[in-house]
Structure 1
Amino acid sequence: MEIEPLVLGLLCVLLFGAGVLSAVLGLGLRRGSYGRGVTAAAGPPREVVAAEVDRTRGQYEVQLTRVSGERDQALANSRHLHARLTQLQGSLEARVAAEVDGRLAAELEARVQAGVEARLAADVEARVQAGVEARLAAVLEERVEAGVAARLAEALGRAAARFGPRDTVEAQQPPGPPPQSPAVPHQLPLGRDCAADSTVDGADLGPLIVRAASVRGPRQREGGEHRRDAVMLGLVEEMPSPTLLSVVAAGAPRGLWSQSAAQRACRSLASQLGRYGEHLGTVLGPGTHQGLRTDTVPAGHATSPGEAEDSELGGLLRSALQGVGRSVSLVGLNEGGGTSVAATGGGTEADSEVKVALTALLSQLGDHQRRQHVAFGIGDNRVLRLRDGTWETVFTGVREARLPADGGEVRWARFETRPEDLVAVCSPPLAELLLREDLGEWFADRWVGGRPHLTEFFSDVNVRVRCAGGDRSVVCLWDFGEARRTPTPNA
């Protein structure tokens, strides 16, 4: 790169010298011609002129020879320099090509190596991650199995102490937690008033999920006695706002027509509430709770008859249940041909067979963050609420009162539920199971935050554990506040 300008400058100098020589020779020739013309005009001697011409010619020939030699030498030098320049250019191009090829090869090799390293690193990372995940899964599975085994052993120990028989007549039960499979009756009930061994019902009403079941008790199955409880779900269509009615009716344990009386009480209550539906909607609607029970009722609290007399709601509920009592009193007359029982009491000895404990719950439908409920009834049925994993009693009636004789002994109470709360309207035997420490936890684990299928709910109510009471009847309401927060059904 440094030789090329020098060679080009030398060539330019030589060419310029050749041009100058050519100009000098041309000028000399012109002067010779002019001299000859002048001499001829002046008339010098020809010999002098000829000699001068020869001398001048000789000088110019010598100069021309010298200039030609110099030109040839300059041309030779120019060809040599051109050859050298060509050689240098070829060498330079070869060096540049070699340098470019080397750099390209190095860059390509670096990129290929980087790509290979990246793929190797990704492959190694994926394999390491897969190995770590597999190891973690194995460790978690071992810990879960260990935890399940520990919990199962603990449950077996508690069940062995708590789920045993209550008297020596009953067969010994193997220790273990409450099985999830339902008990199956081994004989059909006797009597003309018998009904199905079990019944189950339910509905998904937006954010309010409701399930109901009534199951013949274990002792009744063994003795061939029929189920005497009844449950019912329905909507009070006559009320201005959508309202759900949940009813649990428990007939007398030894009553001849208890099943018919319980079913009659449920149907009659729905009819009676329909008669007072517009007035009930007025006192139950939003903004009408001043002066009444507006907050959650403490555990075990129920409004007394005297307080209920002073409120419109208490009067409406008392009138409805008295009408139910009159309807129940006709069961003995229609079914057995006996004398009916008046609402105020009195009658024959056979009239005692027609006695019903009735508890009902009116619940607002729709999306509510604080849902209003009104519980009312006669007898020892209970309304429980599951909140934060703990069962608490929010309503219970007068224990000894029964329809039809005690229609005026109605009690009622307002309470609220928040999202994720569970309300259970239940007969005394099932309330006993829910309030037991061990079984209450088991039911809470099964039901909290759930949306069970009907068969699953029936299996839970019909769990094979001993209890001192009779039939198990319950209506459960799961409150999720808003329909969009309601979980999907269990798979």
Structure 2
Amino acid sequence: MTTWLIVLLALSLVVDAVLTVRLLRLRRTPPPPVSAPVLEPSAQELGDLRAQLAAARQETGAVEEMLRGRNLELARLRALYKETQDAHGTEAESPGREEIAAAQRQVRALQDVVRQVTGERDAARAEAEKARQRLSEAEARGDAPFGPDEVSPAIPRRIPLGRDTTSDSSVDGADLGPVVVRAGSVRGDRSRDEGEHRRDAVLLRFAEELPTPTLLSVVAAGTPHGRWTQSAADRACRNLAAQVARYAEPLGRRLFTTTDSCDDLAPLLRTAFQGVAHSMRLLTRGEGPEGESDDSALGVAVTALLSRLGDSRQRDHVVFGVGDGALMLLRDGAWHSLFTPGTTAAEQGLRMPSAAAHVRCARVTTRPGDLLALCSAPMAELLLRPEAGAWFAGRWAGRQPYLTTFLSEVNVPARVAGGDRSVVCLWDFGDAREARAAAS
């Protein structure tokens, strides 16, 4: 009540002052300056002047009446204010003032909070706008993954358990002058959903024992739900590199020749794979019947590639393996299947170590600008899909992706029936100057 009285008193004072100023202006209006003898006005002019004087007097009376009313109202408000002071005393007003001050402090605090939250909101909007801009630029370049999700790589929801478990993903690579190589292996969506670990392995190794500079690339894909398939895949990759070093002299004589046939290499490769099979069987020695190895716990499809390094307008490769892996070629924006170790369903179902004698091989030639992809079966299936193959071709044609970028692309959200995905990509730029120009 006291607060409202104070407000009304202040408003009355303001109105009183305004009306007083207007009245003084009407009373003190100076006559017009006389610069020449005044002529007698006409009857019309006298009538106009009288009308103006009557209007001014009427307005003056109205203003004086308003001032008298305001003075009466001001007096009434002052009396009410005095009565309120007498009724409640000076002490009674203190709590009201304290409550008003506390409310004002709360309002100021709330205003500070609003300003802070508004600043944070504006900053978040700016960051979101920047992110949208970057996404638009990435989509314009073709960087964004296809499919329903925009996040790549997919994030595992849990770590798998088991004696044979390994990391969810792995990546490797090297820039070897005119030859650029990237290798990646990721756990498939099915394995993640079922809590299974990744069962594939990849390997890149410089075969320094061979007389010609040569790169060995290996992709080993373990069968799902096998007890030791991941360890067997890893051992197959490592031991195959050891077998290449062991038979380096005869391999060096037969590896890169002018003949298109691979018949001279087949016996030597079968011998090397027999050594790989023996190494794999050591994992389950004593677990099979009568203390033998349990091959059913070791099933692995192995595909390998030996590539000649150095500047060359025509590069030679030898691809070999057992199972359902594949060697794909990207040329002129289209994917082509060059080799698979099994031509029939029965041959594609073969697995190491039991199928070591069924090694198949082939010679392949690439020219500058070609890309070879040594794939596990699920990755080969993905590259052969029209939409997915076009997306990978757009991302990999003529480029040298960073390792993290390559892993993200291999792990793009897209379901395949076979689960885990593993691939070794080899870019042939012909000579080192073209390779540097294509870096990304």
TM-score class, shorter-chain normalisation, is 0.5 to 0.7
Distance of aligned partners of 1:413 and 1:340 in 2 relative to their CA distance in 1, 3 Å threshold = farther
Spell out the pairing of 1:55-70 with structure 2 (5 A cutoff).
none
Number of aligned positions between the proteins:
299
Question: Where does residue 242 of structure 2 map in the other structure?
Answer: 271
Question: Where does residue 393 of structure 2 map in the other structure?
Answer: 444
Matched AA of 2:277? G
Whole-Å Cα distance in 2 between the matches of residues 312 and 216 of structure 1?
37
Question: Where does residue 289 of structure 1 map in the other structure?
Answer: 258
From 151, 160, 164, the equivalent of 1:193 is: 164
Whole-Å Cα distance in 2 between the matches of residues 340 and 329 of structure 1?
13
Question: Where does residue 404 of structure 1 map in the other structure?
Answer: 353
Give yes or no for contact 1:341–1:351 (8 Å, CA) kept in 2: no
Per-residue CA distance 1:53-85 (angstroms, 9 max, x = gap): xxxxxxxxxxxxxxxxxxxxxxxxxxxxxxxxx
Whole-Å Cα distance in 1 between the matches of residues 269 and 329 of structure 2?
22
Measure how far apart 1:341 and its partner are.
Answer: 11
Whole-Å Cα distance in 2 between the matches of residues 374 and 340 of structure 1?
38
Distance of aligned partners of 1:341 and 1:393 in 2 relative to their CA distance in 1, 3 Å threshold = farther
Whole-Å Cα distance in 2 between the matches of residues 212 and 327 of structure 1?
24
Distance of aligned partners of 1:407 and 1:239 in 2 relative to their CA distance in 1, 3 Å threshold = same
Give yes or no for contact 2:295–2:354 (8 Å, CA) kept in 1: no
From 196, 207, 215, the equivalent of 1:236 is: 207
Spell out the pairing of 1:1-400 with structure 2 (5 A cutoff).
174=148, 179=150, 181-285=152-256, 288-290=257-259, 292-293=260-261, 311-333=263-285, 338-339=287-288, 351-398=295-342, 399-400=348-349
State yes or no: 1:468 paired with 2:417: yes
Question: Where does residue 366 of structure 2 map in the other structure?
Answer: 417
Measure how far apart 1:181 and its partner are.
Answer: 2.2
Give yes or no for contact 2:200–2:221 (8 Å, CA) kept in 1: yes
TM-score, normalisation: structure 1: 0.58
Give yes or no for contact 1:452–1:489 (8 Å, CA) kept in 2: no
Measure how far apart 1:340 and its partner are.
Answer: 8.5
Measure how far apart 1:289 and its partner are.
Answer: 2.5
Task: Provide the identity percentage.
Answer: 55
Per-residue CA distance 1:28-53 (angstroms, 9 max, x = gap): xxxxxxxxxxxxxxxxxxxxxxxxxx
Whole-Å Cα distance in 2 between the matches of residues 400 and 278 of structure 1?
32
Whole-Å Cα distance in 2 between the matches of residues 400 and 341 of structure 1?
26
Measure how far apart 1:488 and its partner are.
Answer: 4.8
Matched AA of 1:289? T
Whole-Å Cα distance in 1 between the matches of residues 300 and 393 of structure 2?
29
Give yes or no for contact 2:186–2:422 (8 Å, CA) kept in 1: yes
- SS at 2:356 equivalent: coil
Whole-Å Cα distance in 1 between the matches of residues 277 and 398 of structure 2?
37
Give yes or no for contact 2:188–2:421 (8 Å, CA) kept in 1: yes
Question: Where does residue 92 of structure 1 map in the other structure?
Answer: none
Measure how far apart 1:284 and its partner are.
Answer: 2.0
- SS at 1:408 equivalent: helix
Give yes or no for contact 2:398–2:438 (8 Å, CA) kept in 1: no
Question: Where does residue 103 of structure 2 map in the other structure?
Answer: none
Whole-Å Cα distance in 2 between the matches of residues 444 and 460 of structure 1?
11
Give yes or no for contact 1:179–1:463 (8 Å, CA) kept in 2: no
Per-residue CA distance 1:334-365 (angstroms, 9 max, x = gap): xxx513899xxxx68x5311111100000000
- SS at 2:265 equivalent: helix
Whole-Å Cα distance in 2 between the matches of residues 196 and 341 of structure 1?
34
Which ranges of structure 2 fall in alignment gaps of 5 or more residues? Answer: 1-132, 343-347
Matched AA of 1:425? L
Give yes or no for contact 1:252–1:356 (8 Å, CA) kept in 2: yes
Give yes or no for contact 1:330–1:340 (8 Å, CA) kept in 2: no
Give yes or no for contact 2:204–2:218 (8 Å, CA) kept in 1: yes
TM-score, normalisation: structure 2: 0.64
Distance of aligned partners of 1:341 and 1:490 in 2 relative to their CA distance in 1, 3 Å threshold = farther
Give yes or no for contact 1:331–1:340 (8 Å, CA) kept in 2: no
State yes or no: 1:429 paired with 2:381: no
- SS at 1:487 equivalent: helix
State yes or no: 1:483 paired with 2:435: no
- SS at 2:273 equivalent: helix
Give yes or no for contact 1:318–1:410 (8 Å, CA) kept in 2: yes
Per-residue CA distance 1:356-385 (angstroms, 9 max, x = gap): 110000000000100000000000000000
Which ranges of structure 1 fall in alignment gaps of 5 or more residues? Answer: 1-144, 164-173, 294-307
Distance of aligned partners of 1:369 and 1:341 in 2 relative to their CA distance in 1, 3 Å threshold = farther
Whole-Å Cα distance in 2 between the matches of residues 283 and 261 of structure 1?
29
Measure how far apart 1:179 and its partner are.
Answer: 3.6
Measure how far apart 1:322 and its partner are.
Answer: 1.2
Matched AA of 2:384? L
- SS at 2:357 equivalent: coil
Give yes or no for contact 1:341–1:404 (8 Å, CA) kept in 2: no
Per-residue CA distance 1:427-485 (angstroms, 9 max, x = gap): 01111110000000000000000000000000000111122111100000000000011
Measure how far apart 1:312 and its partner are.
Answer: 2.5
Give yes or no for contact 1:207–1:366 (8 Å, CA) kept in 2: yes
Per-residue CA distance 1:123-145 (angstroms, 9 max, x = gap): xxxxxxxxxxxxxxxxxxxxxx9
Per-residue CA distance 1:242-276 (angstroms, 9 max, x = gap): 10000000111110101100000001101111111
Whole-Å Cα distance in 2 between the matches of residues 400 and 385 of structure 1?
23
Measure how far apart 1:388 and its partner are.
Answer: 0.3
Whole-Å Cα distance in 1 between the matches of residues 206 and 371 of structure 2?
19
Matched AA of 1:473? S
Matched AA of 2:255? L
